[in-house]
Amino acid sequence: MEIKVLKNVLDKNKDQAEENRNLLDEHNVKMLNFISSPGAGKTSLLEQTIPELQKTMKVAVIEGDAYTSRDAERLQKFGIPIVQINTEGACHLDSNSIRNAFRQLDLQSLDVILVENVGNLICPTGFDLGEGYCIAVLSTTEGDDKPSKYPMLFRKAKAVVLNKMDLLSYTSFEKDNFVKDIYELNPQVQLFETSATQGTGTGEWNTWLNRMLSV
Amino acid sequence: MEISLQVARENKLSRITVINLDVGKMQHLNESIMQHGFDAAKQGTTAGEASLKLNWLPVKLKCNECHHIFTSADMKLSCPYCGSKDTNIVQGTELNIKSIEGE
């Protein structure tokens, strides 16, 4: 006997993500989902971003990490609320873990939540968290073929931050190919070039982000 | 797996033999990893002996300029008819349980 089901495996996650989105709207909080491979520089970028946002907004961070709390520790210096989610090996955050993280935050007092997803280009892309939009971070050392290999993320991202520009000359990264592939997938995307550890190129990114979060 | 087991219960199946899953090619999922995960998840359930059949769906897009629908094999998402980049994905991102078979 065959029984038709026709149900999306991720429906449950999507429903909870919509609930999260409504909850954020009610409290007038914006949430961004940062997705990249491990070591692309998400935390370093946040270290450059948080102090800028803090000037005008109340910021919180939700840190997704497979096992450790090292990234959360790095961000403690900013004195902002940080919720650590240990996924115990799972390769992505889901909307339910974000809902649980909200319970540890005072949404009423916040303007922005930055979510640092687990380092991975595939799984986090499929799991809507209820964010306003997602930001892809890619580093020059990973190679210029990543957009065409992981099209879902680069199609979905509102902005792509190309990090480790200071190392560009030591890699085989062809920026022209990368830029062409990115715009092929996502003509409306905002592209930024940074060296987060050096603090270069982050000004333009911060200006754009501030503008996006102020509307 | 949770959805399949629930459907089996609702339809009073004593065991599930096959789960048919529609998977869009844009998901870039690896079949052997899917099978591996499935084998782990089915242990001790009414789907313990079940097999997972993946039905791969090609990426299809619709052009918002000239309204052609086309299939993309190489992840090029611009329209081959008019060159427009303003396209919508109409197929290829699925991860749907199409049906379950059992008795």
With contact defined as beta carbons under 8 Å apart, do A101 and A62 qualify? yes
With contact defined as beta carbons under 8 Å apart, do B17 and B50 qualify? yes
In this model, does residue A104 exceed pLDDT 80? yes
Nearest CA in chain A to B92: A152
Strands (E), A43-175: 59-65, 82-86, 112-116, 133-139, 159-163
User: What average pLDDT does this structure show over B23-31?
Assistant: 84
- Prediction ipTM score: 0.80
- 3-state secondary structure (DSSP) of residue A129: coil
Give residue-wise pLDDT tens across range B90-99. Answer: 999 899 999 9
- Closest CB to A5 among B27, B100, B103: B100
Shortest Cα distance from A5 to chain B (angstroms)? 5
Residue-level pLDDT at A69? 85
Percent of chain A surpassing pLDDT 90: 82
Considering only CA atoms, which of A75, A78, A41, A74 is closest in space to residue A192? A41
In this model, does residue A133 exceed pLDDT 80? yes
Class of domain A11-210: alpha beta
- Closest CB to B96 among A8, A126, A152: A8
Instruction: Name the band, by pLDDT with cuts 50, 70 and 90, for residue B6.
Output: confident
Of A1-5, A41-45, B24-28, B45-49, the least confident: B24-28
Considering only CA atoms, which of B82, B62, A155 is closest in space to residue B70? B62
Domain ranges of chain A: 11-210
- 3-state secondary structure (DSSP) of residue A86: strand
Quick check: B77 and A155 CB within 8 A?
yes
User: What average pLDDT does this structure show over A96-109?
Assistant: 96
Quick check: A2 and B26 CB within 8 A?
no
Quick check: A151 and B26 CB within 8 A?
yes
Instruction: Name the band, by pLDDT with cuts 50, 70 and 90, for residue B1.
Output: confident
Percent of chain A surpassing pLDDT 70: 100
Structure tokens at A201: 């190129």
As a whole number of Å, the CA-based R_g of chain A is 17
Quick check: A5 and B78 CB within 8 A?
no
Helix (H) or strand (E) holding A154: helix A151-156
Extract long-range pairs of B84-91: CB within 8 Å, 24+ residues apart. Answer: B85/A183, B85/A184, B85/A187, B86/A187, B87/B61, B87/B62, B87/B63, B88/B61, B88/B62, B88/B64, B89/A155, B89/B26, B89/B59, B89/B60, B89/B61, B90/B60, B90/B61, B90/B62, B91/B24, B91/B57, B91/B58, B91/B59, B91/B60
- Closest CB to B26 among A2, A152, A187: A152
Give residue-wise pLDDT tens across range B57-71. Answer: 999 999 999 999 999
Instruction: Name the band, by pLDDT with cuts 50, 70 and 90, for residue B76.
Output: confident
In this model, does residue A23 exceed pLDDT 90? yes
Residue numbers in A near B3 (CB within 8 A)? 5, 7, 9
Instruction: Name the band, by pLDDT with cuts 50, 70 and 90, for residue A140.
Output: very high
Structure tokens at A56: 């005008």
Give residue-wise pLDDT tens across range A42-80. Answer: 999 999 999 999 999 999 999 998 788 888 889 999 999
Identify residues of A whose CB sits under 8 angstroms from chain B CBs: 1-10, 122, 126, 148-152, 155, 183-185, 187
- All domains of chain B, ordered by start, with CATH? 2-102 (3.30.2320.80)
In this model, does residue A89 exceed pLDDT 80? no
Quick check: B75 and A185 CB within 8 A?
yes
Quick check: B101 and A1 CB within 8 A?
yes
With contact defined as beta carbons under 8 Å apart, do A70 and A91 qualify? no
In this model, does residue A19 exceed pLDDT 90? yes
Q: What is the distance between the alpha carbons of residues A27 and A32, in angstroms, rounded to a whole number?
A: 15
Q: What is the distance between the alpha carbons of residues B87 and B91, in angstroms, rounded to a whole number?
A: 12
A51, A61, B16, B33, B73 from A91: Cα distances, Å: 28, 19, 28, 13, 27
Which residues, numbered 14 to 53 in chain B, qualify as contacts with chain A under a Cβ-Cβ cut-off of 8 Å?
21, 26-28
Considering only CA atoms, which of A182, A178, A193 is closest in space to residue A158? A182
In this model, does residue B2 exceed pLDDT 90? no
